[in-house]
Structure 1
Amino acid sequence: MASSSSAGNAAQTPRKSLGLVANAMKRKDSFIQLFAMTGIFLLSIRSLGQKYQIHDLQEDTIALKEEQKNLTDRMKNIKRSLLHEASLDSSGLFASRLRLLFGEDH
């Protein structure tokens, strides 16, 4: 009879599952650790994304500086060739006009 009374008690008090909030309150240290680790993980992912973005921006900066240098050299070559061509003019008006446009005092 003892075995039937213990079986009857188990059937009368079924194990209730705790709700999420109750479970969180019961194991709040574990949940705090979970949220902290999740936050750290998300910040790490964000930081990694920013690292790659900075790397890409640095590459863009280098490419733009190189392009600026090439354009500056090209402008100097064009200016030099125009002044040379203007110096071949016997009247000198074209050369003086170019010097005025380029802001030179020659």
Structure 2
Amino acid sequence: MSSSSGNQKKALGFVGHALKRKDSFIQLFAMTGILLLSMRSLGQKYKIHALEEDIHSLSAEHASLTDRIKTIKRDLLQEASQDPTGLFASRLRHLFAE
């Protein structure tokens, strides 16, 4: 039982010490909170940067695909225009809504 009372004394000593130096503990908790928020903010900054790079890459890919589609349409229409009946070219224009 004496070891139990010794633990209580140490626990009360910690609480007493904490109450005595409550300003230091408040500062410690505030600084810990600020540090955690700063780390979270830094992580979000890197995520935003990565997403901006993805946006740039996707925009470039979109532009490339758009150019390829235009080239394919133009080549198909040019090849279809060589058909003497004009039926294939007419269907392609209807398909491409031109």
Q: Residue in 2 aligned with 1:27?
A: 21
Q: What value does the CA root-mean-square deviation take over the aligned residues?
A: 1.2
Higher helix share: 2
CA distance in 2, matches of 1:83, 1:50: 49
Q: Residue in 2 aligned with 1:73?
A: 67
Q: Superposed, which structure 2 residues align to 1:39-78 within 5 Å?
A: 39-78=33-72
The answer for unaligned runs of 5 or more in structure 1 is: 1-15
Cα deviation, residue 50, structure 1: 0.4
* Paired residue secondary structure (1:90): coil
Q: Deviations over 1:16-44 (max 9, x none)?
A: 64533222111100000000000000000
Count of residue correspondences:
89
The answer for unaligned runs of 5 or more in structure 2 is: 1-8
Return the structure number with greater relative CO, CA threshold 8 A, min gap 6.
2
Report the TM-score when normalising by structure 2: 0.86
CA distance in 2, matches of 1:89, 1:26: 96
* Paired residue secondary structure (1:19): helix
* Paired residue secondary structure (2:88): helix
Q: Deviations over 1:33-76 (max 9, x none)?
A: 00000000000000000000000000000000000000000000
Provide the identity percentage. 70
